[in-house]
Structure 1
Amino acid sequence: MNLNAQGYLSLILHAHLPYVRHADRDDVMEERWFFEAMTETYLPMLLMFDRLHRDRVPFRLTLSLSPPLLAMMDDSLMSERYTAYLNKLIQLSEREQERNQNQPEFAELAAMYTQRWTELLEYYQACGHRVIPKFRYYQDEGCIDIMTCSATHAFLPFLKHEVSIKAQLMVGVLEYERHFGRRPRGIWLPECAYTAECSPLLQAAGLQYFVVDSHGLEHASPKPSRALAAPVMTMHGIHAFARDPESSRQVWSSHEGYPGDPDYREYYRDIGYDLGWGDAEEWAYIKPYLLSNGARIHTGMKYYRISENEQDKMPYHPEWAQHKAAKHADHFLYCREQQIQNYQAHCDRKPLIVSPYDAELFGHWWYEGPLWIEALFRNPRSQQGTIAFITPEDYLREYPVSEEVDIPFCSWGRNGYAEVWLGQENDWIYRLLHQAEDRLLHTLQHHSTNLWGHTAVAERVLNQSIRELMLAQSSDWAFIMDAKTVPTYAAARTEHHLKQFHELIDMMEHRFYDVESLERMEHHAACLTSVHYELYTSALSSPPPMLLPDAYKADAGTPWRHRKVLMLAWEFPPLVIGGLAKAVFDLSRYLVDQRIEVHVITRSVQGTPSYERMKDIHVHRVHVLQTTTPVDFMDWVFQLNLAMTDYAVLLMESGHHFDFIHAHDWLVHYTAKDLKEYARTPLIATIHATEHGRNHGIIEHDVQRRIHQMETDLTAIADQVIVCSNAMVQEVQSLFTLPASKVSMIPNGVEIASLVPHSVERDYTSLRLQYAAPHNKILFYIGRLVYEKGIQVLIEALPLIHSSVPNTKLIIAGTGPMRAELEALAARLGLTSHVTFTGFIHDDTRNDLLQLADVCVFPSLYEPFGIVALEAMQSGTPVVVSDTGGLAEIIEHGVDGYKALPGHLESLAWHVTEVLLHPEIAKNMAANALRKVEQRYDWKSIAVSTKQVYEGVIMR
């Protein structure tokens, strides 16, 4: 290293190709990408290293070698085919010398190619057809530093789950270690795509630095004081080296970049495209060197230089090009010296210029590129000038601490972000990739808890499924679709790997391993040998730790005296979103009284323990696996099910044997299905509502269809289905084609004497004054603020009610997505002073409001049951409900309440007005309603009916 240097230059070459090995065919055009890269970039690069090393010319550069490229370099089949490819090139070049006997300039160029390709073949054979050890040698000699890359060059910010990014990184690290005998210190993030979520994952993988595009630092916070003249550090201590835009422009720019010089060889003129147009003899000559189907390709025989005149290309002169490469190398170094001097004015350490490029630019696209690199190192400026070549690793040894900043999302793609990899040409792939990620995690969660057993074949199936998914995740496919080069091939590769992924996961789910198909897939994807499913399972964590507290471990040697049921519910107190939480809680309490041991698995809620005994119910709360990006509701549901299944299996493995699994609604469908299969336990499903009913029969969006399908599947796999009303019996039988014998109607209930009825004197004066004046009449609604509850109908009916009872106030309690819309509706109708939105209220306040109200109104458009109506009836307050669903069955019109036509303003207003204007009728209906609740809707009798369903299932 030049010790007198005032600054440093880091030349970084990113070497990568997608995995284009096709075991069953030897004439795939895309496989030639590898052969061309070897011929024009990687072997010339090693020969350049040999020359510099032989001449004792110091050189120092950084090279990334991606796992797919390493796999193809190390593959015996690819080696065999590449040798045949070189021999065919040599044969063509020899024939070209004969064909061009009358064109001396072309004949000389053909002889040059013969000599060149013969040299490469001999060199390749001398290496034993193994080039990776040569790269390793020069790293061990201290001439180059080799970085790793992720497993398949996936665009990491677009992976859905953190564990998927971890696995991509760790396979990259392990593949590197396997080939180079040491752990990598740096990584080339695919497409230089960085997001803050990557930082802790890089740290966990033991990596020290990565390369980022310049705008990543330009928009960092705080703005780096050294600008682009030095690396920065993330909060996890990972160093980011920013690409220098000026040096990149001098090489990359189509207008001013060196590769566009007229003396350099023209890439696009090739005899594979030039010969055989309208000449049968010429076509017969060139056809053997094209694809077997006659498709034209680059043969490598290129005779022209770029030339000033695009219309009249001139013959290529290698000596001119070599001279120009040396001249451009000197110019490049001169410009870097000027940059270093400019940086010194505001940099408190030796400035660093980072110049990263795609490796294949040098040799493949820019034929003279390797000569240019060699000229850089041989140039006197790099030996005793103001600049020295170093690697990022060298710089960190000199300056181990960098300025800490937050780097925003960025990449080195077009316009600096992600539009190349997420646009109208390729956005369709991510839904499929994310679904595959979800399915893989779901399967691996089960495998990690010994759901199928760790057989050797099962492990191979899992490993190959990961390999297929990783190959589908390659950013190359989306890039190709965007560039529209071979988009059909890129789409087919994505779909092919995903198809094989799902075939393998099907094997796991069905516990049938098609070994012949597995071996075929392994043969075709002979890469990434470091892939192992434990890279995922060891990283999958769902707090609390997967160790069950002693408080609820079962003693496997002690038989249980009573039946045991495992309840699955997505909400449970204290988390109450709708009526399901309270229904499951009350049913569980009364089942305990029936000598049934109840365990509820539900989701975690802040401030509550992961396990507790609540009213003798065993409550287990699970945390959902975190993702790197926000997820939509359906994805969250899937993650919840993963965590619930994992936890339930641990319960069972700790000694718990459950006699029944009781699933509540579609949100726990995946867990219910998996546990039924795993434990061979009867499954009871309670359908509290249907997607069809909630949307009034309109199922048109993808999410709605998915929910409807999960409801269908849940009822199909259940041994018995419970619903809460006769209307729901008809609905589920019709929707899901269930036999009558499979559906049981058990209503929801209320706890008798949980409220103090009007017959007991209480003073509500102060509470009333919070919402209304003493002379006001109060209408009360409580429930979710969603469309199917019909609150909008009640608000629109209020002016009609005011025409008969002007002093009426409406109190709306509860939360939901329609609150802002409902408040706007009240304002638009001039009702702001007459309508109060309380938001969430606690049970005590709810009970008080139920009793102080003059009428409780529940104008639902769809209501499977309507437990809140029972609570109002038990409070001794008259009720008006919609004549729909379970509400219609609870109320006998004119006897214990009124039923209005659903969605009908005049009908609702008239019935509410009747109650307000005729207090004696209202009082009689309220008394009848209270008696009905006490006689028919007692949770004790409901629990007994549920227990009978359980026993009936066992007796089958």
Structure 2
Amino acid sequence: MGKKHNICMVSDFFYPNTGGVESHIYQLSQCLIERGHKVIVLTHAYSQRNGIRYLTNGLKVYYLPIGPFYNQCILPTLFTTLPIIRNIFIREQVTIVHGHSAFSALAHETMIHAKTMGLKSMFTDHSLFGFADASSIITNHILQISLADAHHVICVSHTSRENTVLRASLNPNNVSVIPNAVDSSMFTPDPSKRNLDKITIVVISRLVYRKGIDLLADIIPIICQRHSDVDFLIGGGGPKRVNLEEVREECQLHDRVTLLGPVDHDDVKSVLNQGDIFVNTSLTEAFCIAIVEAACCGLQVVSTHVGGVPEVLPADLILLAEPSVNSLLESLEEAIQRKREGTVLKAIDVHNRVKTFYTWQNVALRTEQIYHRVSQAESFTLSERIERYGNSNLLFYIFFSLVAILNFLLFNLLEIVFPRKDVDLVPSFVDGYVSNCDAEPVLKERLYDGPAKRTRSKQSGSTS
């Protein structure tokens, strides 16, 4: 297996929150542990969950005592997190810092600290952005600065790679494509859960604008009016839930449109297996792991033709539509017709095909090869980092150059006031855990959330 690494995965998005980024970090970490690497996860506190927790196979998670500020992300402070993150990096003897998601303020902030400490940093981008609106312009400038001195970048699709290279003005040779994966053993077909008298359309998504929930709200009453035997089963939470509730109320569809709210990851399979058709209405998508999970459960998949979605499944397993009401209606009508005629592929046959497409073991192996390459690269000096910022906007260049300088000075002050020789090191081994890649997250132990406080729990790591 070659050289072993001490890896820190960092993102605002992790369990008990659910989503593609959360699942990616967890599953990748489990497989890297199986391959002999030491992996810890850094995220912010979730409600009462803070301190140190251990998940399946000894995966150590630091829930920092920082609450989310907006949309599950912390308020960027740039400097206040340096003391605690420095302490964790020294204690855990971290050698590579791996940030996830362009939306994560904690990931970008931690990568800045890692570069200041001379550690190797890399980043996985899970999203697509535009170039015209104000939000995208600001985000792209920040990403350009954040990735200017990163040692490598991973994208989850070729479309995502092209998008990230353009947005962040990166050298394409420093950007690789490693797709998401799915644990096929967790997503197996169970036709017995389906209502044979109905055709059920399932949607599991964050109920936010970029997931196309406005399109879904327009589609639901039309489909329900045309087909009296078609129901909708919708899982997920978010601000756009109000739109769906208004449609359900106005059209009197309470018995045909079920809103489940947020769905725990270990319950997704049960929800999917109640459906016949899965719909993804996203306006932008780098990969969309949800459609792979749905196909793995044997559902027909209807999705918008956006981002990296066309790369994910073969043409005979997905119906693609433009992100418009008429196009989505046309594809849904075709899927409903196939169901009625009985011309859909058998669920178990679809499952057996999909489970060979993407595996976490393959993702971990390819990521490990990048870790080997990154570990051999030279760390950037402060002057080299500032020079790399030069390709950005002048205002951002000046601001982040000052941030890098002040961060460097603060780090050296901490080295004097709290010398690293006084920091207790954590032994680099995991005792008493059985390696099991692709396992569901299980909370093994909660350690010292406060003085003289030690409790044990066996609850799921994907629930509070």
Same fold (TM over 0.5): yes
Q: Which residue of 1 aligns with 2:336?
A: 916
Letter in 1 for 2:336: L
Q: Which residue of 2 aligns with 1:847?
A: 269
Is the contact made by 1:565 and 1:658 (CA closer than 8 Å) also made in structure 2? yes
* Higher fraction of helix: 1
- Deviation readout 1:73-111 (Å, 9 max, x if unpaired): xxxxxxxxxxxxxxxxxxxxxxxxxxxxxxxxxxxxxxx
Post-superposition offset of 1:914: 1.7
Q: Cα–Cα, structure 1 residues 828 and 708, in superposed 2: closer, same or farther, change >3 Å?
A: farther
Q: Which residue of 1 aligns with 2:147?
A: 715
CA distance in 1, matches of 2:203, 2:219: 14
Q: Cα–Cα, structure 1 residues 726 and 829, in superposed 2: closer, same or farther, change >3 Å?
A: farther
Post-superposition offset of 1:606: 3.4
CA distance in 2, matches of 1:709, 1:740: 18
CA distance in 2, matches of 1:797, 1:840: 21
User: 1:707 aligns to what SS in structure 2?
Assistant: helix
- Deviation readout 1:364-403 (Å, 9 max, x if unpaired): xxxxxxxxxxxxxxxxxxxxxxxxxxxxxxxxxxxxxxxx
Is 1:671–2:110 an aligned residue pair?
yes
Is 1:954–2:375 an aligned residue pair?
yes
User: 1:638 aligns to what SS in structure 2?
Assistant: coil
Is 1:567–2:9 an aligned residue pair?
yes
Is 1:734–2:171 an aligned residue pair?
no
Letter in 2 for 1:651: I
Letter in 2 for 1:937: Y
Q: Which residue of 2 aligns with 1:934?
A: 355
Is 1:778–2:200 an aligned residue pair?
yes
Q: Cα–Cα, structure 1 residues 592 and 907, in superposed 2: closer, same or farther, change >3 Å?
A: same
Q: Which residue of 1 aligns with 2:124?
A: 686
Letter in 2 for 1:595: G
CA distance in 2, matches of 1:943, 1:644: 29
Q: Which residue of 1 aligns with 2:93?
A: 657
Letter in 2 for 1:866: C
- Deviation readout 1:131-163 (Å, 9 max, x if unpaired): xxxxxxxxxxxxxxxxxxxxxxxxxxxxxxxxx
CA distance in 2, matches of 1:824, 1:951: 52
Letter in 2 for 1:780: V
Post-superposition offset of 1:844: 4.0
Post-superposition offset of 1:756: 2.7
Post-superposition offset of 1:776: 2.2
Letter in 2 for 1:719: H
Q: Cα–Cα, structure 1 residues 625 and 839, in superposed 2: closer, same or farther, change >3 Å?
A: closer
Q: Which residue of 2 aligns with 1:906?
A: 326
Q: Cα–Cα, structure 1 residues 882 and 828, in superposed 2: closer, same or farther, change >3 Å?
A: same
Gap regions ≥5 residues in structure 2:
378-464
Q: For residues 70-219 of structure 1, what are the structure 2 equivalents within 5 Å?
A: none
- Deviation readout 1:614-657 (Å, 9 max, x if unpaired): 1221211111289xxxx667994214x65653322112333x32
CA distance in 2, matches of 1:588, 1:757: 26
- Deviation readout 1:535-563 (Å, 9 max, x if unpaired): xxxxxxxxxxxxxxxxxxxxxxxxxx831
Q: For residues 284-683 of structure 1, what are the structure 2 equivalents within 5 Å?
A: 562-576=4-18, 578-608=19-49, 610-615=51-56, 616-624=58-66, 636-639=74-77, 644-654=81-91, 656-666=92-102, 667=104, 668-678=107-117, 680-683=118-121
User: 1:820 aligns to what SS in structure 2?
Assistant: helix
Letter in 2 for 1:788: R
- Deviation readout 1:503-525 (Å, 9 max, x if unpaired): xxxxxxxxxxxxxxxxxxxxxxx
- Deviation readout 1:707-753 (Å, 9 max, x if unpaired): 33222222222111111111101111122221221111111111121
Is the contact made by 1:665 and 1:711 (CA closer than 8 Å) also made in structure 2? no
- Deviation readout 1:259-308 (Å, 9 max, x if unpaired): xxxxxxxxxxxxxxxxxxxxxxxxxxxxxxxxxxxxxxxxxxxxxxxxxx
User: 1:684 aligns to what SS in structure 2?
Assistant: strand
Is the contact made by 2:50 and 2:65 (CA closer than 8 Å) also made in structure 1? no
Post-superposition offset of 1:810: 1.0
Is the contact made by 2:140 and 2:167 (CA closer than 8 Å) also made in structure 1? no
CA distance in 2, matches of 1:779, 1:849: 11
Post-superposition offset of 1:662: 0.3
CA distance in 2, matches of 1:924, 1:775: 19
User: 1:824 aligns to what SS in structure 2?
Assistant: helix
Is 1:749–2:170 an aligned residue pair?
no
CA distance in 2, matches of 1:602, 1:936: 30
CA distance in 2, matches of 1:884, 1:850: 22
User: 2:308 aligns to what SS in structure 1?
Assistant: helix
- For residue 240 of structure 2, the aligned residue among 818, 823, 827 is 818
Q: Which residue of 2 aligns with 1:195?
A: none
Post-superposition offset of 1:930: 2.6
- Aligned alpha-carbon RMSD (Å): 2.7
Is the contact made by 1:625 and 1:643 (CA closer than 8 Å) also made in structure 2? no
Letter in 2 for 1:686: T
Post-superposition offset of 1:787: 1.1
Greater gyration radius: 1
CA distance in 1, matches of 2:143, 2:250: 39
Post-superposition offset of 1:850: 0.5
* Higher fraction of strand: 2
Q: Which residue of 1 aligns with 2:217?
A: 795
- Deviation readout 1:1-24 (Å, 9 max, x if unpaired): xxxxxxxxxxxxxxxxxxxxxxxx
User: 2:284 aligns to what SS in structure 1?
Assistant: coil
Q: Cα–Cα, structure 1 residues 886 and 633, in superposed 2: closer, same or farther, change >3 Å?
A: closer
CA distance in 1, matches of 2:165, 2:343: 37
Is the contact made by 1:878 and 1:922 (CA closer than 8 Å) also made in structure 2? no
- Deviation readout 1:590-624 (Å, 9 max, x if unpaired): 11112111011111223435112212212111112
Letter in 2 for 1:664: H
User: 1:732 aligns to what SS in structure 2?
Assistant: helix
CA distance in 2, matches of 1:634, 1:937: 28
Is 1:700–2:134 an aligned residue pair?
yes
Post-superposition offset of 1:700: 2.0
CA distance in 1, matches of 2:137, 2:72: 12
CA distance in 2, matches of 1:635, 1:882: 27
Letter in 1 for 2:276: D
CA distance in 1, matches of 2:226, 2:73: 50
Post-superposition offset of 1:857: 0.7
Letter in 2 for 1:567: M
CA distance in 1, matches of 2:199, 2:143: 42
Q: TM-score, normalised by structure 2?
A: 0.73
Is 1:764–2:193 an aligned residue pair?
yes
Q: Cα–Cα, structure 1 residues 632 and 874, in superposed 2: closer, same or farther, change >3 Å?
A: closer
- Count of matched residue positions in the alignment of Structure 1 and Structure 2: 371
User: 1:780 aligns to what SS in structure 2?
Assistant: strand
Is the contact made by 1:673 and 1:717 (CA closer than 8 Å) also made in structure 2? no
Post-superposition offset of 1:922: 5.5
- Deviation readout 1:820-869 (Å, 9 max, x if unpaired): 12322443455444322111122343211201201011111111110111
Q: Cα–Cα, structure 1 residues 664 and 677, in superposed 2: closer, same or farther, change >3 Å?
A: same
- Deviation readout 1:416-464 (Å, 9 max, x if unpaired): xxxxxxxxxxxxxxxxxxxxxxxxxxxxxxxxxxxxxxxxxxxxxxxxx
Letter in 2 for 1:571: F
Gap regions ≥5 residues in structure 1:
1-560, 769-773
Q: Cα–Cα, structure 1 residues 686 and 565, in superposed 2: closer, same or farther, change >3 Å?
A: same
- Deviation readout 1:9-64 (Å, 9 max, x if unpaired): xxxxxxxxxxxxxxxxxxxxxxxxxxxxxxxxxxxxxxxxxxxxxxxxxxxxxxxx
Q: Which residue of 1 aligns with 2:299?
A: 877
Letter in 1 for 2:274: L
CA distance in 2, matches of 1:659, 1:848: 40
User: 1:651 aligns to what SS in structure 2?
Assistant: helix
Post-superposition offset of 1:803: 5.6
